[in-house]
Amino acid sequence: MLGLGELELKVMDVLWSSGEPMRVRDVLERLAGERRLAYTTVMTVLDHLHGKGWVHRSMTGRAYSYRPARTREEAGANLLREVLDSSGDAESVLLHFARSVSDRESEVLRRALDRGRES
């Protein structure tokens, strides 16, 4: 995702798949299978994500618990919005994208647009 490094994205994946707030140690344990990370590394990544507005944190006992500030789907939609806003030619980007979608994705977009017209 735009604005996230590789480890930040892995941490966000852990938080998104959890569905509940997690402490640094919880995130570290979920990441343990991929590569050996230090507790302080994960703590620093979560602190950076908090500073960037990607996670909310609250004190649980003597440690912070972290949860995503937005769902994975909202983050994806925000990324698309950023791409369109920064492209200089949103219409061309949308047309290229429309040619790349599957039949299923096309149907989902059509239904969403139809619902938008009804409201």
| Residue 51 DSSP SS3 | helix
Could you tell me which residue, 3 or 61, shows the higher pLDDT?
A: 61
The predicted structure's pLDDT at residue 118: 72
CATH architecture of 6-68: Orthogonal Bundle (1.10)
Q: How far apart are the first and last CA of the chain?
A: 31
Cα 15–Cα 23–Cα 78 angle in degrees, nearest 5: 30
- Residue 66 in contact with residue 55, Cβ under 8 Å? yes
Domain ranges of the chain: 6-68, 72-118
Q: Is the pLDDT of residue 2 over 70?
A: no
Q: Is the pLDDT of residue 34 over 80?
A: no
* Contacts for 76 with CB less than 8 Å, ≥ 6 apart: 1
The predicted structure's pLDDT at residue 35: 74
65-117 residue pLDDT tens: 999 999 999 999 988 888 899 989 999 998 998 899 999 999 998 998 888 77
- Residue 32 in contact with residue 46, Cβ under 8 Å? no
